Amino acid sequence: MKVYFFASFLMILITGFIIFPGTSDHSVSPVSQPSAKDNFLKYCAGCHGTKMERFAGNTWEAFKAGGDLTGVIRSGLPVLGMPSFEKAFTQAEMKAISDYILEMKDKKEATVAVKFPAVVRSKHQSFRIDTVAKGLDVPWGIAFLPDGDMLVTERSGQLFRFGGGKLKAIISGVPEVLALGQGGLMDVVLHPKYKENGWIYISYSKKAPDGVGGNTAIFRAKLKNNQLVEQQELFKAMPNTTSGVHFGCRMVFDDQGYLFFSVGERGEKTNAQTLTNHCGKIHRIFDDGRIPPDNPFVNTAGAMPTIYSYGHRNPQGIDINPVTRRIYNNEHGPRGGDEINLVGKGNNYGWPVITFGINYDGTIITKETAKAGMEQPVFQWTPSIGPSSMKFVAGDRYPGWKGDILSGSLSFKYLERVHLEGGKVTEQEKLLENVGRVRNVTVSPDGYIYVAVESPGIVVKLVPVTN
């Protein structure tokens, strides 16, 4: 119970508390320091919500039973990616933050259902918002079956089938997932020739054989009577690690039928620059798991042959530009430096040798933002928005957004539209502000945009309107 409690709390806490400013000067007057509330609203509310709606209730019950929130802030849990803040804060500062959170959590009101306006009018496109799935926690991936039903992965390990706005089935046969921190059941995509072969591809965090830690894996299966059958494991990232952060893992098929997918560097920076492991990379395989003979590092001694590009931190979005047919990804920076990249064969994207971000505690990772032999991002966000997934808008349903990138923001709870002109970002727009933590954005086969949100756990459909 104690291990579960701390693991759950740390992964909720990690993106908020680790960027609090602090001081080791005990002589400074408290009057000159930001209050605990100011610190929370300025540095934590983007992830945890101004009403603390992103804190799990059972976590607080455990604290009331004797847990030590201040101790977690002070000592950290490096195995889950949270460093110690003993040198960044005074004991009084940590205690004040802890007391404020616990006090406000007790006063927190029940979450109110989201109410959407009848019509949303953005710069170039008007639309209404229809809720097509609800009652979820962390909906991570979405795929559409030929009959119009929607498969939705839940990070905790469940696979749901929705149709007609209602839950139709919980799919059985999902393998046990390593539901640790940011890991769990992740993306789901259909084979481009699904109607012919029936293959469904699912990414998840898989336990190591000894049950200690694990890493990102991909398997394919077929759906029969709402059960996954004929399962085949296609990929398992190495090495196994007990880290609970930076698993990747988005997937996309290109026009040639190759499967591209991402694996994060698992919280170990040096992994991204090392070709002898799978972490911090974009990978490419055939649809049956075989290695393409023209992958860039197939003939490099010691290199993992699935690697397509490297030097990535935690890429959680990947898609194909509908015009150029080139592959793009987005990925989490640390504190600042989230990126959109044009993914090229054999390219090095620099992490952690170059970055526009800094460590969560304010310390410098590197002063370099560019270096020969390393790619520059198409675009970078500072401060970080926490990009979750990305999708190009294709087709004619949204003429005002055609060709634009949609990217979810976990930190600031909106969907961002990014317009590219000549390979450069020339316009940005926030959509669905305060809708919740946008975990996934995708486009259905019939051209409609769907957005999966956590807190509240829903999937919405953006329906274009002309008036």
| Closest C-alpha among 343, 372, 342, 371 to residue 355 | 371
- Write out the H or E segment, with its range, that includes residue 320: strand 314-320
| Closest C-alpha among 356, 268, 265, 355 to residue 309 | 265
Strands in 259-263's sheet, in edge-to-edge order, are 251-253, 259-263, 281-285, 307-310
Active site residue 124: no
Question: Which one-letter amino acid corresponds to residue 235?
Answer: F
| Closest C-alpha among 73, 69, 97 to residue 84 | 73
| Closest C-alpha among 376, 318, 317, 378 to residue 349 | 376
Question: Cis before residue 383, ω within 30 degrees of 0?
Answer: yes
Q: Which of 26, 191, 246, 419 is catalytic?
A: 246
Q: For 32, phi and psi rounded to 5 degrees? A: -85, -5
Enumerate helices (H) and strands (E) in the chain, giving the number of each.
7, 25
3-state secondary structure of 258: coil
Measured distance CA(340)–CA(395) in Å, rounded? 22
Beta carbons within 8 Å of 415's beta carbon, 6+ residues apart = 406, 407, 408, 409, 430, 431, 432, 435, 438, 441, 451
Measured distance CA(185)–CA(161) in Å, rounded? 15
Beta bridge partners of 157: none
C-alpha neighbours within 13 Å on the C-beta side of residue 211? 0
Question: Which one-letter amino acid corresponds to residue 286?
Answer: F
Residue 272 carries which DSSP code? G
Extract long-range pairs of 100-106: CB within 8 Å, 24+ residues apart: 100/35, 100/36, 100/37, 100/40, 101/40, 101/52, 101/55, 101/69, 102/60, 102/63, 102/69, 104/40, 104/52, 105/52, 105/55, 105/60, 106/60
Measured distance CA(407)–CA(153) in Å, rounded? 19
Measured distance CA(460)–CA(444) in Å, rounded? 12
| Cα angle 293-331-81, degrees, rounded to a multiple of 5 | 105
Q: Which residues are catalytically annotated?
A: 246
